[in-house]
Structure 1
Amino acid sequence: MLTSFKQIIEENKAQFYEDLAQVMQIRSVKGQPTEQAPFGEGPRAALVKVLELSESYGFETKIVNDAVGYAQWGQDEEYIGVIGHLDVVSEGDGWKFPPFSLSQDDGRFYGRGILDNKGPIMACLFGLKLLKELNVPVNKTIRILFGTDEESGSADIPLYLSEEKPPQFGFTPDCKYPVVYGERGVVGYEIVTGFSSAELAGLSEFIGDQARDHVPDKLEVQLNGQKLEAIGKRAPSNAPELGKNAITLLAEKVNRAGVATGSLASYFEWLENSLSEKHYGEGLGIDFEDADSGKLIVTPYALNKKEHSLVLSLTVRYPVSVTEEQVTKELEGHLPTDSELLITRRMKGTTFPKNDSNVQKLAVVYECLTKMDGTPVTTTGATYARFLPNIVAFGPSFPGQKGIAHNKDEYMDEKDLLLNMEIYMQAMLALLQ
């Protein structure tokens, strides 16, 4: 039976919210690099603020290579690591609440980063503060690490590892429950399709918010004198089935309007037939799946006009038993005419032994506090666990909670935020004893 921390969390939650609000109000979106801020002034400002709070809690702090900071309890070289990130994706449009503020309404907190990932990593930090104040017996050192480039490729982690040892074990509160022991491989593609200048003469640039982190929800274009606009629904790129993709919606409009001719008409027909509501690769011959991971997921996230081509950008998340080479080979056989396939990024899948004793400790804590099944799982997402050795993902989203991060009015229920703190306090204590 675990010792309950509910009362001390309840007694201190007002201070936690006050401290969290200071971090939430910093617009820590990646920006131009400057001295001491390789990922922009916003992420740097958030890091400085969090380490100020960490020092006020009585922890030793350090910034490593201007990329990752940490708060440490203990003096050993070997340490348990808990790593989250302070950088956030751009806010986008259409918010009901101020994106860079900690807003509360009807038992729910709103703000960019409340779930991904300022809320959870601050819950870990504040939870460790409470453990320290309780003088709980521990015999290991722990670091809470704060990254500043997770949303843009995790270039901060190599900078950290160039100066510091990796943790013995640890977790990142930046995914879902229960323990995530495996992350799918991710590969980014550009399908570059050639056209003559005459064929593209009547086509304007595509206008819309297109980025790798989300399903585009609005896209417009002028084609042969007719304006066409598609309004979809934004969703995280690792959960495209929760959104409505403006790229494929626009292709459908082009096809229904009959304004494209020749090879351009064929291209938009291919786009609709291959990708519209076909999130699992079935329209491209890449519908791989396995028991551990489930189905492959494909997300078209950008369509752009170049001088003599149209460029469609895709992200594919493939099961842990499948290779990038298998995906590429099959995809090459399902391209439109006069197309070239380019790989723009690659992240191999990662797995950690799900029967590891530390993984099982996390599973037990989760089961005890939630009364839900703690059997370790895999994910479609990409976390720091791919880049920092000996790390697994653990929370903060509970089963059934999906598609909240990277959206407008990003939220986290107050009860879930406090339950996360309790889970993380118990998890850290279990790993430190």
Structure 2
Amino acid sequence: MGINDRVEEIKDEMIKSIKEIVQIKSVTDEKKPGKPFGEGVSKALDKALEISERLGFKTKNLDGYVGYAEYGEGEDYVAVLGHLDVVPEGKGWEFPPYGAEIHDGKMYGRGTMDDKGPIITTLYSLKVIKDLKLPLSKRVRIIFGTNEENGCSEIQYYKDREKPPIMGFTPDGDYPIIYAEKGIVTFDLVKNIKVKSRGDISIEYIEGGERANVVPNHCEAGLKVKNPEDIIKSINKFCNENSIEAKVECKKGLVVITVTGLAAHGSTPELGKNAVMQIFKILGALKIEKSDISDVIDFFNRYVGYETDGKSFGLSLEDKESGKLTFNIGAAHMKDNKISIAFNLRYPVTFKYEDMMGPFNNRISGLGFGIQNMMHQKPLFFPEKHPLIKILQKVYTEQTGEEAKLLAIGGGTYAKDMPNMVAFGPMILGEPETIHNSNEYIKIDHIIRNAKIYAHAIYELAK
């Protein structure tokens, strides 16, 4: 019997196990003893290890941070890494978000695609190899992460206690293979407001966006003005001429400008309509007396504007592997004596951190800006001829009949946190993306298809 035939035989059991784990609400919650990410995440990890033991695998729980199922012998091991934590369910579900109900060939529920469904699928892919007694030269681990949606801190806990795999993949991306992930830098650019405007228009506050890695779809500014009617008329005229969707009104003695934009992921800022950028454009068109905040607005409009590639800032980085640097302003907050602007920059994989931050620091030098809350993830890049890439390409093409094209992304996956890994499925290009959305689902046919692909991939890596 072959791998694919055995997958067909156990598909009902596999789907039942996926349902069991999806039905657990594993949103990160209050830390408890032995449960570093809360009750729900701990229950999901316990259930995954329970299923693993039921299938005959050795298991280990690393203090509630991470767990794994293991099969085989050998000094080295290959691994599959997925996560059991999920984002909050939100509103707008047609079916219960933790019901794992199947309708029209789709299983609905938070985590069905991201990432409970795929990681349990790989567990059953390993079961197929075990059932068929296929010869392996390395151990195989299915690693159950628990903090991917909130920082991946559990992976460092794992690496401090276990040596890394020699090769592996995470089923938490796109097919065919993600071989390159841009470097990601997130920080706040801050400036103290010492010299305030005393003229006919003064800016009392700016408030827009929540997270650096999201294009903000809302931003508001409050102005104290001497002639409200004239200013409102002037702002409306500017917005109409520049296709800015804004509401301008008097509220509590201020002229309040509210801009509505279009949200998008920080890795693809060109797909959104940045409300913060639009507010700065509006404010830049007003005759505001020279002050620290007017200097910030002028600086922003000169070197950022609506650009999403950092060109005017001096950050024109680009390579053939991953394209242009992306430049997102995720939030702006100004009140009292301080302004803070959240940056999310993603630089091409063949460049270094210094190649981007050197020109950035030169641009802001001497202007009184400071950088706070810096976070940096290095790029991930595997050469096209790397053995891991060649093996996964071979498996994908054999199992699907399609060319295994290599993908570069601006986002980040678990592969950035665990050495010697790439993202490999489960998302099929062209299919609707339901991850993090209401009515998240995975097609039953795709679960079975993934199990076959993943079983062959695990075997080829470990044989």
Same fold (TM over 0.5): yes
Name the residue aligned to 1:38: 36
Q: Is 2:138 the counterpart of 1:164?
A: no
CA contact (8 A) 1:385 1:392 kept: yes
Partner of residue 351, structure 1: 381
**Between 114-123 and 220-229, the greater mean CA deviation after superposition:** 220-229
Q: Determine the C-alpha separation between the residues in 1 that align with 2:439 and 2:283.
A: 31
Q: Alpha carbons of 1:94 and 1:298: their partners in 2 closer, same or farther (altered >3 Å)?
A: farther
Give SS of 1:427's match: helix
* 2:53 pairs with one of 52, 55, 68: 55
Shift of 1:147: 1.0
Q: 1:141 to 1:261 in 2, by over 3 A?
A: same
Residue in structure 2 matched with residue 369 of structure 1 by the alignment: 399
Letter in 2 for 1:394: F
What per-residue deviation string (whole Å, max 9, x for no partner) do you get for residues 273-324 of structure 1?
Answer: 6556532223432121001111111222222235422211111111122121
Aligned match of 1:294: 323
CA contact (8 A) 2:267 2:326 kept: yes
Residue 229 (str. 1) matches residue 258 (str. 2): yes
Paired with 2:347 and 2:87, the residues of 1 have a C-alpha distance of 23
Deviates more, 1:191-200 or 1:52-61: 191-200
Distance 1:163 1:182, change over 3 A: same
**1:323 pairs with 2:352:** yes
Shift in alpha-carbon separation, 1:102–1:236, aligned structure 2, 3 A? farther
Q: Cα offset for 1:69? A: 0.4
Q: Describe the SS at the equivalent of 2:357.
A: helix
Match of 1:203 in 2: 204
| Structure 1 residues 85 and 373: alpha-carbon distance in aligned structure 2, compared to 1, 3 A threshold | same
2:52 counterpart letter in structure 1: S
Asked whether the 8 Å contact 1:116–1:174 carries over to 2, the reply is: yes
Distance apart, 1:81 and its partner CA: 0.8
Q: What is the DSSP-based 3-state SS (H/G/I as helix, E as strand, rest coil) of the residue aligned with 1:81?
A: strand
Equivalences, count? 429
CA RMSD of superposed structures (Å): 3.3
2-side partners of 1:233 and 1:28: how far apart? 30
Q: What residue number does 1:122 align with?
A: 120
Please report the TM-score for the alignment, with normalisation by the length of structure 1: 0.85
Q: Which moved more, 1:195-204 or 1:383-392?
A: 195-204
Alpha-carbon distance in structure 2 between the residues aligned to 1:214 and 1:99: 24
Assess if the C-alpha contact under 8 Å between 1:110 and 1:409 holds in 2.
Answer: yes
Q: 1:395 aligned to 425, 431, 440, which one? A: 425
Aligned-partner residue type, residue 391 of structure 1? M
CA distance in 1, matches of 2:410, 2:182: 6
CA positional deviation for 1:414: 3.9
Match for 2:307: what amino acid?
K
1:202-281 aligned at under 5 Å gives the runs: 203-204=204-205, 206=207, 210-220=210-220, 222-224=222-224, 225-251=254-280, 262-263=290-291, 264=293, 267-268=296-297, 271=300, 275=304, 277-281=306-310
**Distance of aligned partners of 1:350 and 1:335 in 2 relative to their CA distance in 1, 3 Å threshold:** same
Quote the offset at 1:394 in angstroms: 1.5
Report what 2:240 is aligned to.
none
Cα distance, 1:360 vs structure 2: 1.3
2:228 corresponds to: none
Whether contact under 8 Å (1:214, 1:236) holds in the other structure is yes
Q: Is the 8 A contact 2:3 2:455 kept in 1?
A: no
Are 2:419 and 1:418 aligned? no
Moved more, 369-378 or 260-269: 260-269
SS in 2 for 1:203: strand
After TM superposition, the structure 1 stretch with the greater mean CA deviation from structure 2, 259-268 or 288-297, is: 259-268
Q: How far apart, in 1, do the equivalents of 2:437 and 2:272 lie?
A: 10
Deviation (angstroms), 1:70: 0.3
User: Quick one: distance in 1 between partners of 2:2 and 2:441?
Assistant: 29
SS in 2 for 1:165: coil
- Unaligned stretches of 5+ residues in structure 1: none
Cα distance in 2 for partners of 1:90, 1:19 equals 21
Q: Which amino acid aligns with 2:349?
A: V
Q: What's the offset of the Cα at 1:404?
A: 4.8
Indicate which of 292, 314, 330 corresponds to 1:285.
314
CA-CA distance at 1:43 after TM superposition: 2.4
The 8 Å contact of residues 332 and 341 in structure 1, kept in 2 or not, is answered as no
Counterpart in 2 of 1:151?
A: 149
Q: Which residue of 2 aligns with 1:386?
A: 416
**The residue matched to 2:20 in structure 1 has which SS?**
helix
Q: Determine the C-alpha separation between the residues in 2 that align with 1:262 and 1:328.
A: 29
Structure index of larger Rg = 2
**CA distance in 2: counterparts of 1:134 and 1:236, whole angstroms:** 43
Identity %: 34
Cα distance change on mapping 1:194 and 1:54 into 2, 3 Å = same
Give the Cα separation in 1 of the matches to 2:208 and 2:146: 29
Deviations along 1:130-159, one digit per CA (max 9) or x if unpaired, are 333344443432110011122333221221
Distance 1:118 1:265, change over 3 A: farther
Compared CA separation, residues 128 and 27, structure 1 to 2 (3 A): same
The 1:344/1:320 distance shift into structure 2, 3 A limit, reads: same
Mapped to 2, the partners of 1:199 and 1:392 lie a distance apart of 52
Q: Which residue of 1 aligns with 2:230?
A: none
- Is the CA contact 2:218–2:259 (under 8 Å) kept in the aligned structure 1? yes
- Mapped contact 2:203–2:221 kept (Cα < 8 A): no
